[in-house]
Amino acid sequence: MKRTPTRLADGRELIYFDRRDDADRGAVDERDLPPRPAASELRYDPLTEEWVTVAGHRQGRTFLPPASECPLCPSAPGRPTEIPSPSYDVVVFENRFPSFSGGPFTAPGTPAEVGGLSEVRPGLGRCEVVCFTSEHDSSFSALSPDQVELVMEAWVDRTAELSATPGIEQVFCFENRGAEIGITLAHPHGQIYAYPYVTPRTRLTLGAAERHRERTGGNLFADVLAAEREAGVRVVTTNEHWTAFVPAAARWPVEVHIYPHRQVPDLVALDPAERAAFGPLYTEVLRRLDGLFGVPMPYVSAWHQAPVNVGRRLSYAHLELFSIRRAPGKLKYLAGSESAMGAFVNDVLPEEAARLLRTVITN
């Protein structure tokens, strides 16, 4: 793999990841771009003990442009984009409209100035875009095993570097796919958030893992995986290094978790064989999702990795994949119970969802 870092016209970092060592990445971004935005605000909610990010500059971000104006396609004569090169394999760059950044911070800093009991801090961190392929009309499910391995290497590279950045507490790699999910760009891509705090979901699961260890002496995630593999009824597919299954208490109509068979805290700790084995299984699962209702499935694909400084021995890196589509032409909306109370109601029996996914022909 060849790794080539460069800078965009406004100073943002861009990194090319190539399979070939002779790839020429000397193209320069000659656009006239506005200055980078100031850092967002983090406001503390004393009722939930969670941080909420306020990033007003994101209101102006690019929204569903036509393919001819896609900013994630390679640059062409007379049409410069976020990627200066006329071609690429995989690209990672700093988001132009970030939720977290290293920009200047001018917000008030005390509860008295803000009002209420909320503490305010700068939203320091980093947000990156990961372009999985230069082909605008492709999808992750269509990527070759070699291309998925290259994406994995990019995830590993960014996880390692961002985890070593001062002030970063957690690194989150994810993909939002489909207009129903709320994407703003159709090009196959994902994102990476480097948070300045440990996220609420991770704090909850690590608390559960700590209590499980105190009760049983075991690792909660490893025990869940072992139980699902033994039961078998919710397993969708498996190979030597990974298992994909629908969790017994799935919140979403279509929800699949993908675990490596070996406990590792993050993607960096996966060995070469595990990294290589991920792609064929994951793209198979994505094709099963697309085949379930005969239409491209909207989904969120989320890597759960250990925080940088806490809970690493309790953590177990895994991928959570879920969709809001519950039937052809029907979506699950997070209404009163889910949105207001955080109490999920799932219309689809997890065992039935797993059975249906297993019946999809993927060849």
Residue 189 appears among annotated catalytic residues: yes
What 3 state SS string does the chain have?
A: CEEEEEECCCCCEEEEEECCCCCCCCCCCCCCCCCCCCCEEEEEECCCCEEEEECHHHHHCCCCCCHHHCCCCECECCECCCECCCCCCEEEEECCCCCCECCCCCCCCCHHHHCCCCCEEEEECEEEEEECCCCCCCCHHHCCHHHHHHHHHHHHHHHHHHHCCCCCCEEEEEEEECHHHCCCCCCCEEEEEEECCCCHHHHHHHHHHHHHHHHHCCCHHHHHHHHHHHHCCCEEEECCCEEEECCCCCCCCEEEEEEECCCCCCHHHCCHHHHHHHHHHHHHHHHHHHHHCCCCCCEEEEEECCCCCCCCCCCCCEEEEEECEEECCEECCCCHHHHHHCCCCCCCCHHHHHHHHHHCCCC
pLDDT at position 108 is: 53
Q: Note the pTM of the prediction, 2 decimals.
A: 0.96
pLDDT attached to residue 118 = 86
What pLDDT, on the 0 to 100 scale, is given for residue 220?
98
73 is in an annotated binding site: yes
In CATH, the number for domain 201-359 is 3.30.428.10
Q: Consult the annotation and say whether 136 binds a ligand.
A: yes
What is the homologous superfamily of the domain 2-197 according to CATH?
HIT-like (3.30.428.10)
Catalytic entry in 189, 257, 304, 318: 189
Positions of the chain with pLDDT under 50: 112
- Output the pLDDT for position 362: 86
Q: Looking at the chain, which residues constitute the CATH 3.30.428.10 domain(s)? A: 2-197, 201-359
